[in-house]
Amino acid sequence: MRCFIALLLDKDANSYILDLQRELKESSADVKWVEPQNIHLTLKFLGEIPEKLAQDIKIKLEDFKEEKVIKTKIFEIGGFPSLENVRVVWVGLKDEKMIKDLFERLERKLQQLNIPKEKRDFKAHITLGRVRSKRNIDKLIRKIKKMKFKEKDASIEKLVFFQSTLTQRGPIYTPLYEISFKRI
C-alpha cells in the first residue's frame, strides 16, 4: 500500500488556499491542480509499505494523541525548485519551528520502525499543483509575482495517516488513522 502522513488545516484556511488556487488557474497554465479534498501538508511520504508496517505506524502515531492545535499563518506563495523554473506551486506556512519540531519527532518514531530519515530539509508547505508542461507557464509566474497576497491565520488541526491510491483521474486518499489535535 502507498502511504503518507500529513497535517490538515482548519476549514477557513483551506478555503483561502482554494481561493488562491482558483486565481492561479486563470493563467491557463498546464498544471495538475490538487483536488480540494486532497489539500494537505505532507509530513512524511512513505511510498509502498506492507500492511504489517502500516499497523506498526498506527501504534507509533498514538504517541501524538496529546498534541495541541498549531497556530500558524499562510504567508507566501512560491515554486519548487524555484519560481523561475517552477515544477511545483505551493503556499508556505509561518512559525515553522513548531511544525518542524513535530516533523522531527515523527521522524524519530518512524526510525524505530527502520523507516529511513528524510534526506531533504523540511519546508512547511502545501502543494497547490504540479506543472505538466511549459504551456502558459510564463503567465502563471507573472500571476504569482503580481498577486496581492495577504497573510492568513491558520490552524493545524489534525495528523492523518493516509493510503494513496493512484487512478487515471488522480490520487484517492483514504485515511487509515487520524488524530485531532487538542484545542488550547
Quick one: which H or E segment has residue 137?
A: helix 137-146
Per-residue pLDDT 10s for the chain (184 aa) are 999 999 999 999 999 999 999 999 999 999 999 999 999 999 999 999 999 999 999 999 999 999 999 999 999 999 999 999 999 999 999 877 899 999 999 999 999 999 999 988 898 999 999 999 999 999 999 999 998 888 999 999 999 999 999 998 889 999 999 999 998 7
Nearest 10 degrees: CA dihedral of 91, 96, 98, 104?
90
Q: Determine the pLDDT at residue 11.
A: 96
Q: How far is CA 143 from CA 8, 14, 34, in A?
A: 26, 21, 18
Active-site option among 16, 17, 40, 106: 40
For residue 103, the SS3 value is: helix
Position 184 scores a pLDDT of 74
Please tell me which residue in 44, 109, 125, 152 is annotated as part of the active site: 125
* 40 given a catalytic annotation: yes
pLDDT of residue 150: 87
**What distance in Å separates the CA atoms of residue 138 and residue 76, rounded to the nearest whole number?**
19
Give me the residue spans of the domains in the chain: 2-180
**Catalytic-residue membership of 125:** yes
Alpha helices in 7-117 (DSSP H): 11-25, 51-61, 96-111
The fold adopted by the segment(s) 2-180 is Cyclic Phosphodiesterase; Chain: A, (3.90.1140)
